[in-house]
Structure 1
Amino acid sequence: MKAMINIIKEQVNSFYLVQRLAKFQLRIDNQGNYLGFIWEILNPAIQMAMYWFIFGYVMRRNAEVDGIPYVYWMLAGISFWFFINKAILQGSKSIYQKYSMVAKMNFPLSSIPSYIIMGKYYGHLALLAVIMVIFWIGGYYPTWHYFELIIFVLWSYVLAFSITLLTSTLTVVVRDLQMVIQSVLQGMFFISPILWDRSKDMPELLQNILMLNPFYFLAQGYRAGLLTHEWYIINHWELALYNLALVLILLYFGAKAHYKFRARFSDFV
């Protein structure tokens, strides 16, 4: 528990530096591109258009999901994915990639994945703003449930950090873990209710198993805030408590692993 508390303190104390490094990383990632930061929105937009054409037009014929046109249902559910997928993949390899850059600086190593995640978070917020405008044009106007959306937007960052704190430490020791993480994320993407949701047609036991996926909670939470206008956290408080416990467990073991190997990172790198 002490390790987890120390990690949280490091994040708070280095918050300003994390913001600066995140903006610097954004410039590096988009260096040489004429459109620059716009690609943080344009690239996901192209992928979402492809998903809509394949799953919404070719396979579903624009069918509605729970009374909501598929295109809006899909946009709300997928909006967090581009952030969390990139954040976990790049955050997981951030320590062994960036260690030499900060090794001689007075900089907490636990903040390395933080600024990588934060750089992706800016793009997520910009993409979400565009999606919200599209929804307003389509007749889905802002409601009080946007306050719940803010909770889920913040939760996406917390979940990404709790995962990458653990994986960024372990991938320093075992590089092959990066390939495992990539494969697991691909699998979780397709079993999450992001592009489809047939869980209601499945046995109750299988439904409950699928709900253990933390991305299930995020996808449904974003939809609740943007579309269905449901107090999802209250109506599904058991699922909310489970996801809170999951994040705390990931933070605990991530902090323990980080402090265990922190002094030996230079040997592995």
Structure 2
Amino acid sequence: MTDSSLERARYASTNLSKDVFILRQLVSKDFKLKYRRSVLGVVWSVLNPLLMMIVMSIVFSYMFRHNIENYPLYLILGNITFSFMSDSTKQGLRSIIGASSLLKKIKVDRFVFPVQKVLFALVNLAFSFIAVLIVMLWFHVMPTWHFILLPICLFLLVLFCCGLAMILGAAAVFFRDVIHLWGVVITAWNYLTPVFWDYQMLIDNHAPWIVLMIVRLNPMYNYVQFMRDIVLWQTVPTAATIALCVIWAVVMLALGIIVFKKSEHKFILYI
């Protein structure tokens, strides 16, 4: 290896270490800010999905449960999975704008900011799984070896959200309307995803094939299905579900990197 190659490798390693350090500090700062002056603190990350599950179970159990076994567990798994995407992208949307003062003062890799918002949402998701375990114990659903597939599901979902957060973060710098529009998109996306209803309902009600196809190709449908397969149904997800999760993760991350790289040099002019 030549001296120049060694120098480039050393520089890349130094940059990576710096980015990891910044990510850790930013996640820690957001975590402290979120629970500052809160009596219950991180307990809210457990209570929120539990309370939401109870309310939604009461409201939807007679309308949408469609003979779903352990419906509250079905509900909470769909809710925390979709909420992770929703929270990480909503925060990622404002990540570059929110870091404007820092970006104007020091040189730092800009991708750190949307990625950090996704990682912070992942920390909250980890606490939400305590609520899932509580519900599992309540319904006597014991974890099986399928749980070892959980890191794969989360890894693919994190990649998908990182790509989406980078696209949204970059877009919001140039078009502030994206901030308002995304709330509408998230609401529509939530109803399009079987969080509180079952895909089988569409089939039983003879929904048009185009509707079935849209829902089936919906990225969040596949990530929610992956989560339910390994935790609730305790089975290995189908090859189609795994393939679509991988494809969406790779495609969205690639798009995010391309969009971000092509626009990041202009951020300073608009923030």
Question: TM-score scaled by structure 1?
Answer: 0.86
Unaligned runs of 5+ in 1: 1-8
Question: 1:39-118 to 2 correspondence within 5 Å?
Answer: 39-56=44-61, 59=63, 64-65=67-68, 68-118=69-119
* Partners of 2:46 and 2:130 within 8 A in 1: no
Aligned to 1:145: 146
Instruction: Give the match for residue 254 of structure 1.
Output: 256
Aligned to 1:190: 191
Taking the aligned partners of 1:77 and 1:222, their CA distance within structure 2 comes to: 8
| Aligned equivalents of 1:145, 1:207: Cα separation in 2 | 28
For residues 16 and 169 of structure 1, what CA distance do their matches in structure 2 show?
23
Cα deviation, 1:155-202, whole Å, max 9, x if unaligned, reads: 222221111011100110101011221111111111111100123323
Deviation at 1:126, TM superposition (A): 0.8
Counterpart of 2:263, as a letter, is F
Deviation, 1:13, is 6.2
Instruction: Indicate the SS of the match to 2:217.
Output: coil
On the 8 A contact 1:86/1:120 being kept in 2, the answer is yes
TM-score between the two structures when normalised by the length of structure 2: 0.85
Q: Which stretch of the first structure deviates more once superposed, 124-133 or 43-52?
A: 43-52
1:216 equivalenced with 2:217 (yes/no): no
- TM-superposed deviation, 1:144: 1.2
Task: Measure how far apart 1:104 and its partner are.
Answer: 2.5
Q: Distance in 2 between matches of 1:203 and 1:116?
A: 38
Are 1:119 and 2:120 matched, yes or no? yes
Deviation at 1:204, TM superposition (A): 4.0
In the TM superposition, what is the alpha-carbon distance from 1:125 to its structure 2 partner? 0.6
Q: Calculate percent identity across the aligned residue pairs.
A: 19
Name the Cα RMSD after superposition: 2.2
Aligned residues: 254
Max radius of gyration: which structure? 2
* Corresponding position: 1:231 with 2:233: no
1:16-50 superposed Cα distances (whole Å, 9 cap, x missing partner): 43122101111112222222222223233322222
Aligned-pair distance for 1:102?
Answer: 3.7
Structure 2, unpaired ranges of 5+:
1-13
